[in-house]
Amino acid sequence: MKSAPENSFFSTNQTLNIQGRLFDLTTPCIMAVLNVTPDSFYDGGRYQTESAILNQVEKLLDEGATFIDVGAYSSRPGANDISIDEEKKRALFALKIITRNFPQALLSIDSFRSEVAYAAVNEGACLVNDISAGEQDPKMFETVAGLGVPYIAMHMRGNPSTMTGLTTYEYLLKEMVSYFQQKIHRLKQLGVKDVIIDPGFGFAKTIEQNYYLLNHLDHFNVLGKPMVVGLSRKSMIWKTLSITADHALNGTTSLNTIALIKGANILRVHDVNEAMEVIKLFLALRNSSNDLGH
């Protein structure tokens, strides 16, 4: 794989070590959403049977997804809380059948609970995606360090039930950078080698704050970490356009393009084929910076 460019002012680390394999994130990639929940905001209830899960995973991989992010707990605003046992049951059911049928698939577990993360990695997941960055489970950081897997730390306040009322910031970007700096420092102390940041679009942020955040996404380069961005079919799109999540694919594509230009390394999406097209066009745009002599 090609080495990361050396002209980045902040020397952002753009590689991940996953199961001994080095992934170069200077070429953006796709993390595909696979919610095995009955109540997720867009695809809830669609992937709960073995055949539905396997058919969707095959489709996502065929279309070009690098990672499959398995979520068994809905984090939509106001979602119902479920027990650790229920979340674990859902997640492990999916992970077991995916690893059995697609042993080469790179699976992420989307959970803020260390017990679920631990069980999932032992069942084949190779990455932990935590929407609370350790805030909801004080054992998460130590657990991830012990597992030796990459970790996505997302910015959020409160929890899915309370976050919509926690959107008051004095200086949004400054507070978020400080938040991530503290998380990265603690994870480094514990020996976690690969940390990825996620600004958390839609989590404890108003629609206006989400767009401000997207417009200043490159501000997070100062952290020197790769970045995952999840904008797919979120309310900041469909509420702005006065449509529904079902009709928010075009808006998702538009904002994903901006996210890549602003420095996103991983796009977390429901629709892989369209996101792959965005990446191909972005790479054509980036590669056109060479002087063609015209």
- The catalytic residue among 90, 205, 233, 234 is 234
Catalytic residue at 234? yes
For the chain, give the secondary structure using H, E and C: CCCCCCCCCCCCCCEEEECCEEEECCCCEEEEEEECCCCCCCCCCCCCCHHHHHHHHHHHHHHCCCEEEEECCCCCCCCCCCCHHHHHHHHHHHHHHHHHHCCCCEEEEECCCHHHHHHHHHCCCCEEEECCCCCCCCCHHHHHHHHCCCEEEECCCCCCCCHHHCCCCCCHHHHHHHHHHHHHHHHHHHCCCCEEEECCCCCCCCHHHHHHHHHCHHHHHHHCCCEEECCCCCHHHHCCCCCCHHHCHHHHHHHHHHHHHCCCCEEEECCHHHHHHHHHHHHHHHHCCCCCCC
Could you confirm whether 268 is annotated as catalytic? Answer: yes
Catalytic option among 46, 268, 280, 286: 268
Q: What amino acid positions are annotated as catalytic residues?
A: 234, 268
